[in-house]
Structure 1
C-alpha cells in the first residue's frame, strides 16, 4: 500500500500548493506540511523550494516525483490485478494505447492473436497521438502504449514492435527523382501532435525543406480521409506502407517516394521506466513482434 506521506507529496506536486493538496485529500494543511517534512527527513534532502510566493520542486523533488508516480501507478495496477484474481481467478485488463496507424492496421492482428491464444485477459484499447498516450501513461491511465512518434527515453522503457516503411504516395504519375519534384503538389498531412507528422517534419528538415515549401497544405486527422483526398486530387501524402497496401495493390495509389527520402521507422511499445511490471510488458511486446514477424526479422 502506498505510504500516505507519498500520496500527500504527489498531491502537492499535482496541485501546486499545500492548501489545495489538503483539500483534495480531506486533511489539514499542517498535516500536509508534516508529511512533506517527514519525507524530506527520510530522504535527507529538500523536495520543494519557494521562489517568492511560488513553490517549485527541487531537482531532487523532480526525481522523487517521477519515481513515486511510477510506484503509485503500479500500486493501482496491483490493486486491479488482485481484485481480478479474487474474482474467480480472472486476469486484469490490459489498458493499451495505440497511435492511429497502429490502431487501424496492426492492432486488429494483435487483438485477433490475443483472442486465439487466450494469453492475455481482457484488453481495453485507447487511440490517441503519441503525446496524448505518453501523458496517459504518466497519469497511470494506461499500462502500455504502442506509438509511432518520439518519446522521452528517460521516462519510458521501450521494446520495438515492428519496423515499417514510410513512403510518399500519390494518385498517379512518374516516380520523382528527388524531393524537389514533389514540391509543386499539395501536401496532405496528419494533425499536429501525430507521430506520422513528426517523422515527416524531421525527414523534410534533414533536406532543408519544410511543410510550407509544398504548393499547399491540407491537415486531416483521419487516415481514410487522407487517402481519399490523395486518390481524388493531385496531392501527395507521406504514410506508412501498411496503411496503403490495398490501394497500392489495386493501383488507386502509387508509391512516389524519391530515392533520397526512403525511410524505415520503428513502431514501439513503451511503458513507465522503473515499473515492477516492466519485464512482463516487454515480454508481451516481444511476443506480439514474433507474431507479426514470425521469421525473426523486425518489420
Structure 2
C-alpha cells in the first residue's frame, strides 16, 4: 500500500495546486509542501517545478504520478480479492462490440469471474475509464497507446462498407456524392475508417454530406431507410445482409480487418487473469 506522501502527490497531480490539494485532503498547505519535499528527498528526484506560485510536474513526476495511481488502484483490488476469494471485475466495452462480442463474452466468463460492472462507450472513453480505475479492462477495437496499455488479442473482425440497397459504387470516389453516416470522434470505428481514408489521400470532408451518429444501431436503421452509406464491422449487420435489407459494397482497394483486443494498464498485477479471460472467448 502507498504511504500518505504518494497519495498526496497523486492529488497534487490532479489539482495542480498546493492549496486545492490541502483542501481536498483536509490538511494544511505547509503539510502538503513538506510531504512533497520529503518524497523528492527520498527519491533524489525533482518531481515538482515551483515558479512564482505556479507549479507543474517534471517528466519524472508525471511518470511517478501515473505509476502511483496504478499501484493505488490495484492494491485495493488485490486486498479485496484476498478477502472475498473471488475477483470482482469491472469491464468496459465499445458500442460496436456491445451487441456482438459482449453477450458471448459475459456468458463464457460468468463461470470464471464475477462481472460487477459493464460500461459501454466509445474507445476513448473506455481507455479513460481504465486510466481512472472505473473499469479494470476493456474490449476495444480502436487504437490505443501501447506504451500506456497492455493487451491480449481476442479475434479479428471484417470492417466493411455497408449501403442502402439503392446505392451502387465500386470505388471510394464513386461514393463521395452519397451521405456518409459515421460515428462520433473518439469512436474506434471512426478512427479505423479515417485512417484508411488518409492512406488514399482523402478525408471525411470529401463526401458531399456526413452525419455523426453515436449509436451503431441507429446508423443501421438510417441505412435501411435508404439514407446513405457507412463503414462498420460486418458482424453488426449479419442479419440485414442475409435478409437483403442492406448490401455490402466491395470497393477497390478496401480490404480492412481489425483486431479486437482486451486492454488493461501496462504492468498490471492481474495480467495473468486477463490472459485467461481472453483465452476463454
TM-score of Structure 1 vs Structure 2, range by shorter chain:
over 0.9
How far, CA to CA, are the matches of 1:75 and 1:235 in structure 2? 50
Aligned to 1:126: 119
Point out where structure 1 has 5 or more consecutive residues left out of the alignment: 86-90, 289-299
Aligned to 2:59: 59
SS in structure 2 of the partner of residue 192 of structure 1? coil
Judge conservation of contact 2:11–2:21 (CA < 8 Å) in 1: yes
1:165 and 2:165 correspond: no
Q: Number of residue pairs matched? A: 281
Residue by residue over 1:217-268, the C-alpha shift from the partner in whole angstroms, topping out at 9 and shown as x without a partner, is: 1111111110111111241100100101111111111110303011001111
1:108 and 2:95 correspond: no
Aligned to 2:201: 208
Aligned to 2:149: 156
Aligned to 2:36: 36
Judge conservation of contact 2:5–2:39 (CA < 8 Å) in 1: yes
Q: TM-score, normalised by structure 1?
A: 0.90
Judge conservation of contact 1:168–1:236 (CA < 8 Å) in 2: yes
Judge conservation of contact 2:141–2:189 (CA < 8 Å) in 1: yes
Bigger Cα displacement from structure 2, 171-180 vs 30-39: 171-180
RMSD over aligned Cα, in angstroms? 1.5
Point out where structure 2 has 5 or more consecutive residues left out of the alignment: none
Judge conservation of contact 1:188–1:237 (CA < 8 Å) in 2: yes
How far, CA to CA, are the matches of 1:278 and 1:35 in structure 2? 32
Report the Cα offset of residue 72 of structure 1: 1.0
How far, CA to CA, are the matches of 2:115 and 2:192 in structure 1? 32
How far, CA to CA, are the matches of 1:53 and 1:172 in structure 2? 64
Report the Cα offset of residue 19 of structure 1: 1.5
SS in structure 2 of the partner of residue 252 of structure 1? coil
Distance 1:113-1:287 versus aligned 2 partners, 3 A rule: closer
Aligned to 1:223: 216
Aligned to 1:79: 79
Aligned to 1:272: 265
Judge conservation of contact 2:108–2:280 (CA < 8 Å) in 1: no
How far, CA to CA, are the matches of 1:241 and 1:175 in structure 2? 18
